[in-house]
Chains A and B, each alone.
Chain A
Amino acid sequence: MIIKVQDLVKKFGDFVAVDKISFEVPEGEILAFLGPNGAGKTTTIKMLTTVLSPTGGQITLNGFNPLTQKDKARQSFGIVFQDASVDEELTAYENMEVHAVLYNVPRTERKKLIQHLLEFVELWDRKNEFVKNFSGGMKRRLEIAKGLLHHPKILFLDEPTQGLDPQTRNHIWEYIRKINQEEKMTVFFTTHYIEEAEKIADRVVVVDHGKVVAVGTPEELISKAGVDNLEDAFIKLTGNTIREEQVDPNEQMMRRRFGGR
């Protein structure tokens, strides 16, 4: 098991965002982590990727404890965050370069890898442009190229294809599946496009209100729910009510300042 999570808890004051979640992911698997808004998906990913410390429970990533062996755990994974993590004042190429240095990508391979990935996300022609001039989709593509740069053992993707057109989405998933097969890279992703999960994922974990409500292959979940597709199974599992998302203070400010996203 390359990812092991046991009784993971995260509280923000009185609010329990993640409530005793447990699951395991074998090496080489593509796992979809699904749930309605505010189910605790992003909080879980943040704890798995060492940017947030859990209130309780245990995590093992590639054999390392992300709390005590931070750097080793960090070297094991790549992450594409839900929101931007690039420097807008730098060019696309410079962002990739900074990332390569931060992740110890050997100098000799750097140029080739950066070119390869920027060509893959079709940004090579615009490598010398400032990221602030990019469209939302282009920024997203750059994020993905960046997350793949250091060939991680585990790739976390928090809604990687949000806001992208179907062509680009397909293209990206194809690539992710390809490296998953070629390099046995484990993929852990969240998405609101349930059909993506149905198509791509080996297994699905559904969370709601900070708890795991179902685990299984897409087929298992569909047949257990007695419906036609994963989306219906998902709705059956998590209900029809629309969720209020718990906003963290940071995002709250972003919304006030910049009028939302």
Chain B
Amino acid sequence: MEIIYILWLRQIKRYYRSKARIIGSLGQPLLFMIAFGFGFGPIYQKAGGGNYLQFLVPGVIAMSILFSAVFSGLEIIWDRQFGFLKEMLVAPVPRLKIMFGRCLGGATVAVLQGVIVFLLSLLVGFRVDNWLLMPAALGFMFLIALVFTLFGTGIASSMKDVQGFQLIINFLVMPLFFLSGAFFPLTGLPSALKAVMLVNPLSYGVDALRNTLVGLHQLGLVRDFTILSVVVIIFLVVASYLFSKIEA
């Protein structure tokens, strides 16, 4: 247990010590909320969709969790570069514990990031529909965070260096984000696009946050929860396998 705790703590310490990173990573979600929230608001309303900011904010929260979580996982590449990875690899403890501690830390950081964005959204004008569902929303944030920290960890474990980093961001993370329904509803989309969105785990995260925060839903909480949990388990197995295969 202590092994998991100390590696969790390491991620948290690294997070709160890098103030620049925290502030830097808030710029994008804030921009999305202001520019899109207010920019598309009138059109969305005219089309009969209601308040666009209310629709958008859960998506933006999911987005910041996605980015933060994937980055936490990919940090293994930096650990490799700066040497700390070796320290973890030769330690006489099961690698599964090491990976799990790291991932829990990364996921916690991602949730914190999501909560900060949520608080910012309140300043911009976002209103929570039912505060009693807040614990459920936090639970879903954690599930999303865990899915994508494991995702990043799996990828980083099979990468030797940072050369492929841009590739991952542009061809994996960006599509995950844009094709998750964070910006637009799933209804009335071309069926191919809709199919893609339905295999994207983030879609279920966005849906769950929208459901718990503003009471809008398309897929249903039970389905969201089941799918996200199954994905966590699958990614956990795959990521721990890949992590156990790392060589220095």
What residues of chain A have their CB less than 8 Å away from a CB belonging to chain B?
46, 49-53, 70-75, 79, 81, 83-90, 94, 97-99, 101-104, 146, 249-250, 253-254, 257
> What are the nearest 3 A-B pairs in CB distance?
A74-B92, A84-B83, A75-B92
Q: Which residues of B contact A70 (CB under 8 A)?
A: 92
Q: Which residues of B contact A49 (CB under 8 A)?
A: 90
Question: Shortest distance in angstroms between B131's beta carbon and chain A's nearest beta carbon?
Answer: 36
Q: In the assembly, what is the distance between CA of A33 and CA of B8, in Å?
A: 38
Given contacts A75-B92, A97-B6, contact A249 B160 (CB under 8 A): yes
The size of the chain B interface, using a CB distance under 8 A, is 31
> Do the beta carbons of B92 and A104 come within 8 Å of each other?
yes
Contact for B84 among A72, A79, A85, A253, CB less than 8 A:
A85
> Do the beta carbons of B83 and A85 come within 8 Å of each other?
yes
What residues of chain B have their CB less than 8 Å away from a CB belonging to chain A?
2-3, 6-7, 10, 13-14, 17-18, 79-84, 86-94, 98, 160-163, 247-248
Question: Shortest distance in angstroms between A136's beta carbon and chain B's nearest beta carbon?
Answer: 13
Question: Shortest distance in angstroms between B206's beta carbon and chain A's nearest beta carbon?
Answer: 32
Contact for B162 among A89, A101, A103, A253, CB less than 8 A:
A253
Most buried by A among B14, B98, B248: B248
Q: Which residues of B contact A72 (CB under 8 A)?
A: 92
Q: Name 9 interchain pairs, CB-CB below 8 A, sorted by A.
A: A51-B248, A71-B92, A71-B94, A87-B84, A102-B91, A103-B91, A104-B92, A250-B80, A257-B162
Q: Which residues of A contact B86 (CB under 8 A)?
A: 51, 81, 85
Question: Shortest distance in angstroms between B100's beta carbon and chain A's nearest beta carbon?
Answer: 14
Given contacts A88-B82, A89-B17, A90-B10, contact A102 B87 (CB under 8 A): yes
A-B contact sample (5 more), CB < 8 A, given A90-B13, A250-B160: A50-B89, A86-B84, A89-B17, A102-B3, A104-B92
